[in-house]
Structure 1
Amino acid sequence: MHDFNMSPEEKGLRFGRFVLYPQRRLLLDGDRPLRIGGRALDILLVLVESAGKIVSKEAIISRVWPRTFVEEINLRVHISALRRALGTCPEARHYIANVRQRGYSFVAYVEQVNNGGVQLLPFRSELPVRLTRIEGRDPLIEEMQRKVASRRLISLVGPGGVGKTTVALRVAQQSLGRFRDGVRFIDLSTLETAEQLPSKVATELGLETGEGEPLARIAEFLRERQMLLVLDNCEHLIDGCASLAEDLLRAGPAVSIITTSRESLRTEGEYVQPLAALEVPPARSRLGVREALRYPAFRLFVRRAKARQADFVLQAADVRRIGEICRRLGGMPLALELAAAQVDAQGCVGVLAWLDGPAYLDALGRRTAPARQQTLRASLDWSFALLDDEERGCLLALAALDDGVTLAELACAASMDEPRASASLSRLLAKSLISVEAYGAAARYRMSLCLRVYLREKLAGAPS
């Protein structure tokens, strides 16, 4: 083994089979030094020190070439050389992910070690990295980052397809440096019963799940940890998740939690952050291209259309059509992405006509998306399956009526007395399935066009 005359206390950053010693500007591949250029090493230092975060190209260039003007191609050349030198990452295809239009992110697990191999201040950057730009959420993400510093439990609540996971992940990525022991992302969507929750959490924390009580092992692990846990997709196990969140917070005084769900946990100390749809261009407006692109829903649709069709050019004649598409889809990110994917085959005129029927509910999205997000129908099926019979009856009755009905009108249509109908409406509101607006002296209840189309298909007895 090579002797580099290091003191036992000298700290390094370990990822995969590599250890990086920043002070010595030394990268070891096992027990041998890996020869890479000085600029490439500078870039690696910037990225590894911000593991799990997205570092803009401008920020990297300003750190690595502080007094020299260089083209972006120089950065890309060094990134390619680093990827070749490091090879395949155990957790992803590359150690360095290219986050389109945002920059680069170092995605491997990183831990700080001393020369004696003693692990110090471990942190793991195992958060999924989003490869596309997030539209219209920057103010909310910044606000949630501030809230994470003072609120131990934040529940991000909204309807399916609104982007809860995306926002929670971005907040978690940008909070990595605040938590000594890192961040863990725990996807609960595949679990079927609340009894599976403790074992799932234990596994994601790297704890063995043999015989014994997993909650006791989790409590012991969290007692001295300063961590952020993201519990994603809580709605189908909401009661169990509420109990679990309280148990985790009691076990770890320095632990914080972000949950995503279609309804709040209703636990002690919970801060509920609603997530609304993206803002859409107003109806009957004569917007130019530049004005229309100020609306996040419009920008998202255009970006996704360009990603699908390389020669897509936004024409002035398309502004009105895309604005109408955004309004019909209620500014829902998942629905907009699925619709934009059809532009290459149908054009904006065809997509607008396509929304007149229910076929768009079955449009396929990303192959790698969770099953419940690969189509709008799958997302709505997930929500509908979580309702009790009375909630389903109330929702179907609401779908059969024109948009914006009163409690009295709904109770009559659903053959319910008003107290029962009111209770069902309150639960549907809590589950992010409907909205309410004040209209004079009476409240009026509404639902999205996607949900109305889905439910009317059920009312007509069509297969789903």
Structure 2
Amino acid sequence: MNFMTRTFGGRQATRTAAVLQVQMQSATSNRAVADAPPATSLASDDSEVSFGPFRLIPSRRLLLHGDTPLRIGSRAYGVLLALVENAGQVVSKETLMLRAWGRVHVEECNLRTAIANLRRALKASTGHVYVATDQRRGYRFVAPVTFASVSALRRGLRTPLSKIVGRDDEIVRLLDDISCHRLITVVGPGGIGKTTVALSAGNLALSRKLISEAVLVDLSTVEDPNLVPDAIRVSLGIGRQTNDPIKDIETLLSNRRFLIVLDGCEKIVAAVADAAESVLAVAPNAKVLATSREPLRADGERIHRLGPLAMPDSSYLGSIQTQNFASVELFADRAAARVRGFELTEATAPIVARICRQLDGIPLAIELAASRLDAFDLPILTELLDGHFSLHMLGRVTALPRHRTLAASLDWSFDTLTDEESIVFRRLSVFQGPFGFDAAREIVSDDQLASGDVSSIIARLSAKSIISTGTGHAQGKHLLLSVTRTYALGKLEQSGEKNIVLERLARFREGMSKQDGIGA
């Protein structure tokens, strides 16, 4: 050993020192490049980058083409990660080699092989070029990329903590709509359970693999219609890549089977309709499920109307029969959660049935009433619900502001009305039951509101789920639900028109009585 060292020591030491010096200089240079922060760091475990139909998930060292994993090898993967972090910029060969091989010394031909493998894999899937060569400098990723937070792209939607009562059939029907249509709007009055049904159907669609991913976009806080696309982009977890939100959404979604749930659309329906159409146009496998108190009136829209829970009629029913109605079941379930030992009996069943009828079978109203059993017993609660008390029952503090009281829910709808719609709405409150167009025109119209306009305004109020359509013997007529009528009466009193409108109603009924007498 000593002989060999002495024999070759001089020349070998000089050569070794030179090699070490070159390697150290190269490592120092590479380290300087590596230490420079990339344009966008993917070091976080909560990150994802999309380009074309591909998704890169660093935390899982995974490249997906749509939903299918694409195998490219660990060296090509390291090169790809460095390129997309600096998309649009030239990345030096030294930096790419350092990212793919670390401190292991390799020849440049190995990098060229990794680049070739990467190009071949990406081009074979799409036919497009993603990596360009910059002579003597390095390589550049030339496709637009979108960076997102993986946590924002939840594979599931939130589920309610409380039991869902009486909506199983609706959820299944909505699931059928999701499987057959790309734009579905769940329409119904405030507090009817649109969001609950939509989220439940969305999660069921996920479990049955009708879609791969889903996200909820809360539009109830968006006041500027121009910001709807931005709200969708933010909910998808997309950073601002361009000045065009739809373009950024297109880059992320591509061909992914995505369900976007747009919740609370009624105040900005036109903007939501435009955004939904734009998203669906650029994302061929995406679907949009909206909730609104009125239809979006968008191209290809499938309307799913949600009505009240089933209620017992006014005839007496025993506890066994009564609890088969969804509205009664909901009240009993929520009451038992508030009052230990609460159950339906022969004595309580008819009272609960009456409460459910008083509240028109509206789930939110029934839940709010059941929550007051810790302060009032059933008979007193029934009496209180005949007045304005029903409008101001407090709900969960964690509920959306528009769902904390019935008054807040109705305020939300009332704020969407035009001046003419507001006038018609409050004046119709003098009708205690179903009414026809003829009666409405006589009562509502005056010098400021033409009789011929009343019918179209009623139609608009019906579309906004503020006026209900009669059923059974009242088919072909309209009516205000009890709680809605109580709210409208309050608006009529505030307007100072109550006595005038009531006088018109009295004259109309007197005239109808005379006609009936002549006909007899």
State the TM-score, normalized to the length of structure 1: 0.72
Deviations 1:148-200 (A, max 9, x none): 11111111000000000000000011111425640111111011011111111
Q: Which residue of 1 aligns with 2:308?
A: 277
Distance 2:388 2:416 in 1: 22
Amino acid of the residue matched to residue 449 of structure 1?
S
| Pairs within 5 Å for 1:409-448 | 409-415=439-445, 416-437=449-470, 443-448=476-481
Determine whether 1:264 maps to 2:208. Answer: no
User: Does the residue aligned with 1:454 lie in a helix, a strand or coil?
Assistant: helix
Q: Which residue of 1 aligns with 2:140?
A: none
Distance 1:220 1:238 in 2: 25
Distance 1:148 1:390 in 2: 36
Q: Which residue of 1 aligns with 2:256?
A: 225
Is 1:187–1:231's contact at 8 Å kept on the other side of the alignment?
A: yes
User: Does the residue aligned with 1:425 lie in a helix, a strand or coil?
Assistant: helix
Determine whether 1:182 maps to 2:238. Answer: no
Q: Which residue of 1 aligns with 2:72?
A: none
Amino acid of the residue matched to residue 128 of structure 1?
R
Q: Are residues 180 and 302 of structure 1, via their aligned partners in 2, closer, same or farther at CA, if it must alter by over 3 Å?
A: closer
Q: Which moved more, 1:397-406 or 1:368-377?
A: 397-406
Is 1:185–1:229's contact at 8 Å kept on the other side of the alignment?
A: yes
Q: Are residues 406 and 146 of structure 1, via their aligned partners in 2, closer, same or farther at CA, if it must alter by over 3 Å?
A: closer
Q: Are residues 265 and 408 of structure 1, via their aligned partners in 2, closer, same or farther at CA, if it must alter by over 3 Å?
A: same
Determine whether 1:455 maps to 2:485. Answer: no
Deviations 1:130-161 (A, max 9, x none): 11111111111112212211111111000000
Match of 1:288 among 313, 318, 332: 318
Q: Which residue of 2 aligns with 1:349?
A: 379
Match of 1:215 among 246, 251, 256: 246
Q: Which residue of 2 aligns with 1:9?
A: none
User: Does the residue aligned with 1:254 lie in a helix, a strand or coil?
Assistant: coil
Deviations 1:213-261 (A, max 9, x none): 1121112222222111111111000000110110011011100111100
Match of 1:404 among 406, 410, 434: 434
Looking at CA atoms only, which structure, 1 or 2, has the larger radius of gyration? 2
| Pairs within 5 Å for 1:70-149 | 117-120=61-64, 121=67, 124-149=154-179
Q: Are residues 391 and 116 of structure 1, via their aligned partners in 2, closer, same or farther at CA, if it must alter by over 3 Å?
A: closer
| Higher helix content, 1 or 2 | 2
User: Does the residue aligned with 2:215 lie in a helix, a strand or coil?
Assistant: strand
**How many angstroms does 1:276 deviate by?**
0.4
Q: Which residue of 2 aligns with 1:336?
A: 366
Amino acid of the residue matched to residue 160 of structure 1?
G
| Pairs within 5 Å for 1:360-371 | 360-371=390-401
Amino acid of the residue matched to residue 338 of structure 2?
R
Distance 2:457 2:229 in 1: 31
Deviations 1:74-95 (A, max 9, x none): xxxxxxxxxxxxxxxx9xxxxx
| Pairs within 5 Å for 1:129-208 | 129-177=159-207, 178=209, 181-208=212-239
Deviations 1:19-76 (A, max 9, x none): xxxxxxxxxxx99xxxxxxxxxxxxxxxxxxxxxxxxxxxxxxxxxxxxxxxxxxxxx
Is 1:407–1:443's contact at 8 Å kept on the other side of the alignment?
A: no
Give 5+ residue unaligned stretches, structure 1: 1-29, 32-89, 91-110
Give 5+ residue unaligned stretches, structure 2: 1-43, 47-54, 68-149, 497-520
Q: Are residues 115 and 239 of structure 1, via their aligned partners in 2, closer, same or farther at CA, if it must alter by over 3 Å?
A: closer
Is 2:328–2:353's contact at 8 Å kept on the other side of the alignment?
A: yes
Q: Are residues 359 and 462 of structure 1, via their aligned partners in 2, closer, same or farther at CA, if it must alter by over 3 Å?
A: farther
Is 1:301–1:336's contact at 8 Å kept on the other side of the alignment?
A: yes
Amino acid of the residue matched to residue 274 of structure 2?
S
Amino acid of the residue matched to residue 436 of structure 1?
T
Distance 2:60 2:201 in 1: 35
Distance 2:261 2:472 in 1: 38
Equivalent residues, number: 355
Is 1:406–1:442's contact at 8 Å kept on the other side of the alignment?
A: no
**How many angstroms does 1:119 deviate by?**
5.0
**How many angstroms does 1:124 deviate by?**
2.3
Q: Are residues 198 and 145 of structure 1, via their aligned partners in 2, closer, same or farther at CA, if it must alter by over 3 Å?
A: same
Is 1:235–1:262's contact at 8 Å kept on the other side of the alignment?
A: yes
**How many angstroms does 1:401 deviate by?**
2.8
Distance 2:195 2:467 in 1: 20
Distance 2:472 2:340 in 1: 45
Amino acid of the residue matched to residue 341 of structure 1?
S
User: Does the residue aligned with 2:349 lie in a helix, a strand or coil?
Assistant: helix
Q: Are residues 328 and 127 of structure 1, via their aligned partners in 2, closer, same or farther at CA, if it must alter by over 3 Å?
A: same
Amino acid of the residue matched to residue 295 of structure 1?
F
Is 2:182–2:288's contact at 8 Å kept on the other side of the alignment?
A: yes
Distance 1:314 1:116 in 2: 53
Distance 2:471 2:348 in 1: 34
Is 2:434–2:474's contact at 8 Å kept on the other side of the alignment?
A: no
**How many angstroms does 1:211 deviate by?**
5.4
Amino acid of the residue matched to residue 362 of structure 1?
H
Is 2:355–2:382's contact at 8 Å kept on the other side of the alignment?
A: yes
Match of 2:388 among 358, 361, 364: 358
**How many angstroms does 1:209 deviate by?**
2.6
Identity over the aligned pairs, expressed in percent?
35
